[in-house]
Amino acid sequence: MVRVRGATGAGKSTIARLLNRSYDVVKGQVLVDGVDVREWDLVALRRHVGLVHQDTVLFSGSIEANLRLGADGEVSRQDIERAVEMANARRFIEALPQRYAQEISERGTNLSQGQRQLLAIARALVYNPAVLVLDEATSSVDPESEALIQDAMARLLAGRTSLIVAHRLSTIQGADRILVVHRGRIREEGRHAALLRHGGIYARLYELQFGSRTA
pLDDT per residue as tens digits for the range 99-138 = 999 998 887 788 888 888 888 889 888 888 899 888 877 7
Regarding beta strands 35-36 and 31-32, do their DSSP bridges make them parallel or antiparallel, or are they unpaired? antiparallel
Regarding beta strands 185-190 and 177-182, do their DSSP bridges make them parallel or antiparallel, or are they unpaired? antiparallel
Which positions ≥6 away from 44 have C-beta within 8 Å? none
Give the highest mean pLDDT range of 66-70, 80-84, 149-153.
Answer: 80-84
Q: What are phi and psi of 169, to 5 degrees?
A: -65, -25
Distance CA 180, CA 9 (A): 13
Q: Using CB atoms within 10 A of its CB, is residue 128 exposed (0-12), middle (13-18) or buried (19+)? A: middle
Distance CA 105, CA 192 (A): 42
Instruction: Please report which helix (H) or strand (E) contains residue 124, including its range.
Output: helix 113-125
**According to the CATH classification, is domain 2-210 in 3.40.50.300?**
yes
Better-predicted residue by pLDDT, 159 or 93: 93
Distance CA 148, CA 88 (A): 6
Predicted confidence (pLDDT) at residue 14 exceeds the cutoff of 60: yes
Half-sphere exposure of 202 (CA within 13 A, CB side): 28
Distance CA 87, CA 104 (A): 19
Cα-Cα end-to-end distance for the chain: 19
For all residues of the chain together, what is the average pLDDT?
83
